[in-house]
């Protein structure tokens, strides 16, 4: 394991494409790491986003703003 270098996720902006069951699990995980989460979905649910603590953006915005 010598020489392996990772990245710190805290404070990074993470883009999630699709907020179905798997996407929502990813949202919860990344929020737990202290990331800002932005998501894209063809049928965004703004109420869920507000409750969970992430925002929906267009696909172009997500791709431009995401660090991960």
Looking at 2-6, 16-20, 58-62, which range is the least confident one? 2-6
4 in any annotated domain: no
58 in any annotated domain: yes
**DSSP 8-state symbol, 59:** H
The per-residue pLDDT for 1 is: 63
Contact 39, 16 (CB under 8 A): yes
Alpha-carbon distance 28 to 11, whole Å?
Answer: 15
- Cα 53 to Cα 56, 57, 58: the distances in Å are 10, 13, 17
E strand residue ranges, the chain: 13-17, 36-40, 55-56
Q: What is the pLDDT of residues 19-45, one digit of tens each?
A: 999 999 999 999 999 999 999 999 999
The boundaries of the domain holding residue 49 are 13-65
7 in any annotated domain: no
């Amino acid at each position: 394991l010598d020489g392996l270098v990772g990245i710190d996720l805290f404070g990074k902006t993470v883009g999630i494409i699709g907020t179905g069951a798997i996407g929502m699990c990813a949202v919860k995980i990344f929020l737990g790491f202290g990331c800002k989460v932005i998501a894209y979905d063809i049928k965004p649910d703004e109420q869920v986003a507000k409750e969970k603590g992430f925002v929906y953006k267009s696909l172009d915005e997500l791709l431009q703003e995401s660090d991960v």
